[in-house]
Amino acid sequence: MYTTTPARWLLVLSVLVSLARTSAGAQDTTKVQRPDTNKKAPAAAAAAPALPFDFSGVIYTNFQKGGLKGARAQDRFDLERAYLTFKGTAGERVSWRITADVFQQRDTTLSSFYRGWALRAKYAYVQYDFLHGRADQYRANVRMGLVHTAIIDHEEQFWPRGIQQVAVEQAGYFSSSDDGIAITLSFPNKMGEAYATITNGTGYASRELDRFKDYAARVTLTPLSRTHGYWKGLDISPWISVGQRASDFADRKHGTVERVDEGRRRDRYGLFVTVQDPRVSLGAHLARRIDVVESADTTRSTVPTTLERTGAVNSLYALVHPFAFTHGAHHVPIAVLLRADDVKPDKAVDPYQRYYVAGLTWELNKKTTVTFDYQTQEPKKGSHAQDLKTYFVHVIANF
């Protein structure tokens, strides 16, 4: 019969104790592991550095077919404009803005140098908010640099600049920005604003050319902004610009004509009225310009002959969202765009030109639109204006 000796039992017992210790030291995956408090937590990922300014912009690009009479088979893709805007602060109550204008160089005298796109400043100013207040109080600021002129930027809040310039800019009354100083007074409760400027008068595309200045002001009234209904969006904006330019004979003596030191009149004024509504937006702009025109016989005259010439612009437009009249659950982002301008360079004579825009706009989203439109300029009663007929596909993208 087999008998277990004490030595053999001791060997078996030692093996079992060893196995028990090994099992107790193994990881129990069914229990939540406690964190090791002696270890340092991993460093959090560094946040992306914020820019010290705000950046935004808009791109106006198009495809067009047509153009001048006799050359209407032409077509081209065109990047008309790209505006790049930077805004920031410069301490308490002080801010700044710079808007770069990407444009195509179209001066044929410079074609041998460069025929592509260039970059220039459109707006560049420092602003001081000297009157703070709530929405029911007056607020005011002053700007210096390349500032907005009296009416163009305000009208572009209602008419899309990417389709065509507003009538007074297209007719050459003045530029949309100029170098100078501007002050804005905002009325309480969204009742409007007053805006006034003193500028060089040469526009942002030119340096100062003489010592004369333009003095301009606009008053915008929104008397029904706190009501309900269609007329809530009524905007009434009378404006005026009073200025002078240097004489055509200012720089030197021209033959027998002596040098002229005094300035020549350059005044503009008008009334812009619009009603903005999600269904139908209507706009009307009536503007006038008064310029002094000079002429002289440089072989006999000692002073030039001057003549005051008064020009006129009448512009009407409408943006209609036809599906906004329905009560469907889904918004159809389509709008009809219509505009008609009459431009008369001199009210004392017959010639004038008529300008039409008709198009269909599709809103791809809140920031991008595509417009299929037709634009025509027709000379009337002996006008020497260009005869234009052009089909466009316009894309406007904000970012």
Inside any domain, residue 91: yes
pLDDT of residue 3: 44
Inside any domain, residue 49: no
Inside any domain, residue 24: no
Q: What's the mean pLDDT in 378-385?
A: 96
pLDDT of residue 32: 46
CATH number at residue 350: 2.40.160.10
> What gap in Å lies between CA 266 and CA 213, rounded to an integer?
10
The rounded mean pLDDT for the chain is: 89
Render pLDDT for 114-164 as a digit per residue (tens, 0 to 9).
889 999 999 999 999 999 888 889 999 999 999 999 999 999 999 999 999
Q: What's the mean pLDDT in 250-264?
A: 92
pLDDT of residue 38: 57
19-28, 127-136, 206-215: least confidently modelled range: 19-28
Reported pTM: 0.84
SS3 per residue for 12-39: HHHHHHHHHHHHHHCCCCCCCCCCCCCC
High-pLDDT (> 90) share of the chain, % = 77
pLDDT of residue 284: 98
Render pLDDT for 190-205 as a digit per residue (tens, 0 to 9).
999 999 999 999 999 9
Domain count, the chain: 1
CA-nearest of 331, 343, 8, 297 to 166 is 343
pLDDT of residue 2: 43
Cβ atoms of residues 173 and 202 within 8 Å: no
Inside any domain, residue 192: yes
Taken in order 345, 346, 347, 351, the sign of the CA dihedral is: negative
Inside any domain, residue 154: yes
pLDDT at residue 14 is higher than 80: no
Domain of 393, in residue numbers: 54-398
Type and span of the H or E element at 155: helix 152-155
Inside any domain, residue 25: no
pLDDT of residue 375: 98
pLDDT at residue 216 is higher than 60: yes
Sorted by sequence, the CB contacts under 8 Å of residue 246 that are 6+ apart come out as 209, 210, 211, 212, 263, 264
Sorted by sequence, the CB contacts under 8 Å of residue 117 that are 6+ apart come out as 79, 102, 103, 104, 105
Render pLDDT for 65-85 as a digit per residue (tens, 0 to 9).
999 998 899 999 999 999 999
Confidence of residue 29 (pLDDT cuts 50, 70, 90): very low
Q: Which residue has the tokens 């229990």?
A: 31
Q: Which residue has the tokens 């009296």?
A: 150
Comparison of pLDDT for 1 and 75, the residue scoring more: 75
pLDDT of residue 108: 82
Q: What's the mean pLDDT in 343-369?
A: 97
